[in-house]
A and B are shown apart, each in its own frame.
Chain A
Amino acid sequence: MSWSTFSQIFRHRRKYLSVMENSLQEIAEYRLNFVLSFAYTLIPLASFILLWLAIYASQTSTSATIGDYSLSDMITYYILATWVNELNASERYIWRPSADINTGRLSLLLLRPLDSISYYFFIDLAATLPYSLMGIGLIAGFVVLLRIDLVHPNSFWTFSLFVIAVILGYLLSFIIGILRAIPTFWLENTSGFNQLLDWVIMIFSGSLIPLSVLPPSLQHLSLWLPFQYLVFFPVNIYLGQVPLLEALQGLIIELIWLIASFVGLRLAWRYGLRRYTAIGG
């Protein structure tokens, strides 16, 4: 099933390239919104940094660590988590397939000689480039301006594994993003459901607080969920908190999650489409 999809994409690569081009043009068109969306993420980042500065400053010993993180570790954690979150697809494109299903625009997409999920994927893939570059630029500016001393990865291997984890995390975030649109085939209004899921992902991806600072029971639960791979896992590798062997092990488990959720997505999508055509008549 998936193999035929890959070969189909390869055969129609020019079509998908023009999908990517359109996506970039769209960002260029709404460039003010694009820039402002970053300012929007820098405020929570600043608020967390301010808070952690106060938290570490309130400790009696100056070399205090919280859940194995020194102050610079913690600040680096939030800066990287913000960047990874910005890169991940789920935030950016969750509304698109949902809206297409709701408005019936999906019908237009189904008529095209393109695979719908791949179509969404290439729209998003094109967007990751400007988003990740802009993220790096803004965060670099932020770091220089506030004279934050960012922690550097301790070896080439750490950094390589971090890059791999970010890429796999991006793919996983995309699949989760599309999976979240599936209930729209059955329910008209899924905003409440999605807000709930947003909250769960925020906690268990490590966007709110590093997962190793959570109480043991929640930490244990987070190990059984795929969300840690979106933020916590890659950032923790970067910080050198994960031994190399453990990191490799984690990447393998992440790969299993990816394959399983991909197959699940394909099946659910096909099942949902059956429902969709039933409504369309």
Chain B
Amino acid sequence: MRRYLRVYWALVKASFTEQTEYHTNFWFEIIASLLSLATGLLFFHFVYRYVDNIAGWNVFEVYFLIGTNALINALYGMNIGSKMGDVARSVKEGTLDTILLKPVSSQFWFSAKGISLRSCFEILASLGIMAYVISHLEIHITFTKIIIYFSLTLCSVLLKYAFSFIIVTTSFWVVRVDALRAIFMEIFRFSGYPAEIFRGATKILFTFVFPMAIIANVPARVFVKVFHPQSALYLLFLVFMFILLSNLYWHLGLRHYQSAGG
């Protein structure tokens, strides 16, 4: 455990240097990432000028959902999300060998890549959005609710992580996985929408196959709309299943891997 912490700290320091190397670009990136967070808010802000509810959600409730989704994305991108594409590259170029020889778990190596500074800004922004909503809605806040909210949010982050890891692990079989990964990442776009907009086939698809109707919706409901405890249990079940699956799949992939380095 201590070795993992030491490795992680070294990675954090290295990633810090890497990100601040180009100053001007760094700030442009921060602004761009905050603006892309604002895109969802702006879209609904424009639409709610014409309507007063969407699938029963008012504008502040939707903002809260978007804030939660942004928090999940930021926590995901904070450390694990940024370098997931490396798996495909190292399989293709054969550099996976050197990673397998390192005295840490290879899944850990690909999952922990230091700290993304832009995600820190995104976390602050998403907390800001939610604070803004809370000041406008009469939301009853208790300590227990906060604990449940953050636990479920972390579960969603883990779910997103496991889901993405399964996608990148596919690169053991399909070398050019970039496009596939980009497509699956696009599907996460649906997680910022109220679950009620999914009906019929899309409801089944986004609840059971790609759990996008679960990811941000379940934690957000701790504070807005109605919270269903069984949905929280379903989220826990999904996290457990997907993490287990991702690890099994990773080991299956490693067995399939034939080094290009020789």
With contacts A59-B51, A202-B39 taken as known, whether A36 is within 8 angstroms of B180 at the C-beta atoms is: yes
| CA of A195 to CA of B37, assembled, Å | 13
Chain A proximity of B162: nearest CB distance (Å)? 21
Determine if A244 is an interface residue (Cβ-Cβ < 8 Å): no
- Write the chain A residue with the least CB distance to B180: A36
Query: Chain B at the A interface: mostly helix, strand, loop or mixed?
Result: helix
Q: Is the CB of B189 within 8 A of A213?
A: no
Which of A37-45, A106-114, A163-171, A174-182 contacts its partner? A37-45
Q: Is the CB of B25 within 8 A of A190?
A: yes
Which of A46-54, A129-137, A248-256 contacts its partner? A46-54
Q: Which of A59, A192, A209 contacts B32 (CB under 8 A)?
A: A192
Q: Is the CB of A47 within 8 A of B189?
A: yes
With contacts A51-B193, A54-B196, A202-B39 taken as known, whether A33 is within 8 angstroms of B176 at the C-beta atoms is: yes
Determine if A278 is an interface residue (Cβ-Cβ < 8 Å): no
- Write the chain A residue with the least CB distance to B30: A192
| CA of A32 to CA of B182, assembled, Å | 14
| CA of A259 to CA of B208, assembled, Å | 53
Q: Is the CB of B183 within 8 A of A199?
A: no
Query: Which B residues, 14 to 52, have Cβ-Cβ distances below 8 Å to chain A?
Result: 22, 24-33, 35-36, 39, 42-43, 46-47, 49-51
Q: Which of B39, B46, B53, B189 contacts A199 (CB under 8 A)?
A: B39
The 8 A CB mask of A53-69 against B (1 = contact, 0 = none) is 11101110000001100
- Our count of residue pairs bridging A and B at CB distance below 8 angstroms stands at 102
Q: Is the CB of B43 within 8 A of A209?
A: yes
- Write the chain B residue with the least CB distance to A200: B35
- Write the chain A residue with the least CB distance to B55: A54
Q: Is the CB of B55 within 8 A of A58?
A: yes
Chain A's interface size range is 35 or more
With contacts A47-B193, A213-B50 taken as known, whether A196 is within 8 angstroms of B43 at the C-beta atoms is: no
With contacts A43-B189, A203-B42, A208-B43 taken as known, whether A51 is within 8 angstroms of B28 at the C-beta atoms is: no
**CB-CB < 8 A to B190: which residues of A?**
47, 50
**CB-CB < 8 A to B182: which residues of A?**
36, 40
| CA of A40 to CA of B43, assembled, Å | 21
Query: Which B residues, 37 to 77, have Cβ-Cβ distances below 8 Å to chain A?
Result: 39, 42-43, 46-47, 49-51, 53-56
| CA of A199 to CA of B182, assembled, Å | 18
**CB-CB < 8 A to B55: which residues of A?**
54, 57-58
Determine if B198 is an interface residue (Cβ-Cβ < 8 Å): yes
Q: Is the CB of A199 within 8 A of B186?
A: no
Q: Is the CB of B47 within 8 A of A213?
A: yes
Q: Is the CB of A209 within 8 A of B46?
A: yes
Q: Is the CB of B27 within 8 A of A192?
A: yes
Q: Is the CB of B183 within 8 A of A40?
A: yes
Q: Is the CB of A55 within 8 A of B51?
A: yes
Q: Which of B24, B46, B51, B189 contacts A214 (CB under 8 A)?
A: B46
Determine if A29 is an interface residue (Cβ-Cβ < 8 Å): no
Chain B proximity of A210: nearest CB distance (Å)? 9
Determine if B202 is an interface residue (Cβ-Cβ < 8 Å): yes
Determine if B179 is an interface residue (Cβ-Cβ < 8 Å): yes
Determine if A245 is an interface residue (Cβ-Cβ < 8 Å): no
**CB-CB < 8 A to A59: which residues of B?**
51
- Write the chain A residue with the least CB distance to B189: A47
Q: Is the CB of B179 within 8 A of A32?
A: yes
| CA of A193 to CA of B23, assembled, Å | 12
Determine if B204 is an interface residue (Cβ-Cβ < 8 Å): no
Q: Is the CB of B183 within 8 A of A39?
A: yes
| CA of A57 to CA of B55, assembled, Å | 8
**CB-CB < 8 A to A188: which residues of B?**
22
Query: Which B residues, 168 to 214, have Cβ-Cβ distances below 8 Å to chain A?
Result: 176, 179-180, 182-183, 186-187, 189-190, 193-194, 196-198, 202
**CB-CB < 8 A to A37: which residues of B?**
179
Q: Is the CB of B186 within 8 A of A40?
A: yes
With contacts A55-B54, A208-B43, A215-B49 taken as known, whether A191 is within 8 angstroms of B187 at the C-beta atoms is: no
Determine if A187 is an interface residue (Cβ-Cβ < 8 Å): yes
With contacts A33-B176, A191-B25 taken as known, whether A196 is within 8 angstroms of B31 at the C-beta atoms is: yes
Give A contacts to B, CB under 8 Å: 32-33, 36-37, 39-40, 43-44, 47, 50-51, 53-55, 57-59, 66-67, 187-193, 195-196, 198-199, 202-203, 208-209, 213-215
